[in-house]
Amino acid sequence: MEASAVHLPARWQLIATITRKELATILYHPYHFISLLIPLFVSFIFLFLIPTLDSLDGIEVVVFDAGHSELPTALQSVSELSVTVVEAETAVFQAINDEATVGLIIPAEFDTAVAANKSPEITIYLNSEARSSNVARAQRLLVEAISTLRNPAPAAHITWTEQQPESTIPGPVSTDTYLFTTLVLLSIAIIGCSILPHLLNEEQEHGALQALLASPATLFDLVMGKLLACLLLALLLASAVSFIHRGWQGHWQITAVAIFLCSFLILGIGMLFGLGQDKRSRGKSAASIAILVLSVPSWFAITPIDRLPDIVAFFLRLIPTQYFVTTLNYSLSGQPWRAVGGSLLTLTVYTAVIYLLIGWRLSRKPNVL
């Protein structure tokens, strides 16, 4: 009689099984589950606060008045507008490049035409990279201010024109963009530096590692399953934060690539912390420090690194996640691929180095986590 063949599961099936098991472990573990909820909880808090924060922001309006119109005075009486009168048309466009929300050029005979009930044409330039909520408020306030010049007929026919700033360096980011950058980085750091090291140590702490290695699963399968489970959760949590804080704005393809690369990078750093850690308290301390350090660049995300003090910029450039923050600053403001090529390349190099170190570590002790 022929011996019956034993059909072992394929490698991908083993990894998929381990991935499902680790996902269940994370979601059913109270500490891990609460950790996953922290970025979402903070997101929802600020989601309700952002309209209030926006209402406190002054809207910068730059005006060139060619004919001594009454309109600048009407605009200056609106408390929510910060109005600056300049001496040339070119200064209006330069101000938009320097982050002004609105530019307004008033024709020389504007008031005369208004007085003659002619409703003259007037063009208002909107900064295409300004916060959308500020642009909407500016439009409403400008219409109201212009309507005070004559009643009941419209005082002017307004043409709204979006003006693209010429600068290739994004200015200070909006509140929701800042929160998105900060919380998406925190989400990935929590999973990569806290949850993943715990999963790597779990089998060894419970004495199940040798039993797993005696099964068809190899150490590679075990590590890959844990890595994929954390990667899926990191991308899912980052997507949820993106949805809440409009992370799809600008060049969303660049944002997606940056999140994917940063997830791999931070998970690799967490894996290095987890491999060989046999003391849970020491592992938690290392995780806390890692999360803190990796999150530091997001604290300064409100301002591009090129506009920070030199000493601050120097230390930030030593932290790999700074290049993730820089990429998001560019992508969310609509900058093209060529503007972020250097940052993405640096992220890729950091990630490659991390996983080479992981491979070297596993090759030295192939049967020990």
* Interval 191-217: pLDDT, tens: 998 888 888 777 655 545 444 554 566
Mean pLDDT per 10-residue segment, the chain (369 residues): 50 81 87 87 76 60 87 85 87 81 87 83 82 76 83 75 66 71 92 86 57 60 88 93 83 92 93 69 68 89 79 91 91 83 94 91 66
Are residues 35 and 69 located together in one domain of the fold? Answer: no
Among 107, 132, 163, the domain-final residue is 163
* Pairwise CA distance, residues 311 & 144, whole Å: 46
Are residues 85 and 192 located together in one domain of the fold? Answer: no
Among 163, 189, 220, the domain-final residue is 163
What CATH number is attached to the domain comprising 94?
Answer: 3.40.1710.10
Are residues 87 and 211 located together in one domain of the fold? Answer: no
Determine phi and psi for 273, rounding to 5 degrees: -65, -40
Half-sphere exposure in the Cβ direction for 72 (13 Å, CA): 18
Split into its structural domains, the chain has a count of: 2
Query: Does some domain include residue 3?
Result: no
* Confidence (pLDDT) at 206: 53
Query: Does some domain include residue 209?
Result: yes
Query: Does some domain include residue 2?
Result: no
Cβ contact 39:186 at 8 Å: yes
Query: Does some domain include residue 196?
Result: yes
DSSP 207: T
In sequence order, which residues have a C-beta less than 8 Å from that of residue 218 and are 6 or more positions away? none
Are residues 181 and 283 located together in one domain of the fold? Answer: yes
Beta-sheet strands, E only, within 17-156:
59-65, 81-86, 102-106, 121-127
> Where in the sequence is the domain holding 309, given as residue range(s)?
11-50+172-364
Q: Residue 246, by phi and psi: left (phi above 0), alpha (psi -120 to 50) or beta? A: left
Are residues 148 and 297 located together in one domain of the fold? Answer: no
Query: Does some domain include residue 5?
Result: no
Among 163, 197, 215, the domain-final residue is 163
Using a cut of 0.95, tell me whether the model's pTM lies above it. Answer: no
Query: Does some domain include residue 114?
Result: yes
Residues in the chain: 369
Are residues 86 and 21 located together in one domain of the fold? Answer: no
Are residues 97 and 186 located together in one domain of the fold? Answer: no
